[in-house]
Structure 1
Amino acid sequence: MKINIQFIHMDTSEAMEAYTTEKLNRLAKKYDMIIHTDVFFKSEKDPKGKGNICEMEVSMVGPRIFASSNEENYEVAVKNTIKDLEKQLEKRKKTLKPYL
């Protein structure tokens, strides 16, 4: 699986890249149908205290899957986004029919 991580309106972070890559590799082991993942980290000013946004777009057989979350820190945003992706992947896995 190929992973593309981009930081928008903020500085790049080696630690966040490593953390995100580790979490996505675990997901790829479970779902081998994933081809490519685009990850976007955004920082926006939010009066509620949040504003750390993580968006992920997964390319696979069929339509792409997208998930996003807005949290107080990026680690929680990554976890919540991957949970959303996992739910969508599980639904997609049930609909795919294996070829014999």
Structure 2
Amino acid sequence: MNINFEYDNVSASDRLEALATEKINKLVNKYDFIVRADVFFEAENTSDDETGRKTKIQLSAPGPRLFAEESKEKFEISLAEVINQLDRQLQKRKGKMKTY
């Protein structure tokens, strides 16, 4: 399983990478068909205090790629929201997969 990190207007953070890796690995343990994850952390220039720290994750798995993004006041909160969105998408994908 390969995880790539990209930062836009944000300095690289080992703590954020460790947190994202931990959460993605939980998804990989639950859904073994995930091949790769691309994680993007972006700081937006907004006037709203409740947004501005955007996290995007793209997962490669059989079928179309899965994608989720969320913008909150902290990266940790947006990361948790994105993981929840991807978990729901993966549950649907697993339900549609056929076993032969």
- Scaled to the shorter chain, the TM-score interval is over 0.9
List aligned pairs for 1:16-95, cutoff 5 A.
16-49=16-49, 50-95=51-96
Match of 2:12 in 1: 12
Q: TM-score, normalised by structure 1?
A: 0.96
Secondary structure in 2 aligned to 1:69? strand
Q: TM-score, normalised by structure 2?
A: 0.96
The code of the aligned residue for 2:90 comes to L
Gaps of 5+ in 1: none
- Structure 2 CA distance for aligned equivalents of residues 44 and 70 of structure 1: 9
- Structure 1 CA distance for aligned equivalents of residues 8 and 31 of structure 2: 28
RMSD: 0.6
Equivalent residue pairs, number = 99
Gaps of 5+ in 2: none
> Which consecutive segments of 4 or more residues in structure 1 shift more than 6 A?
none
The code of the aligned residue for 1:17 comes to E
Secondary structure in 2 aligned to 1:34? coil
Deviations 1:56-100 (A, max 9, x none): 00001010000000000000010000000000000000000012x
- Structure 2 CA distance for aligned equivalents of residues 6 and 98 of structure 1: 35
Residue identity over aligned pairs, in percent, reads: 38
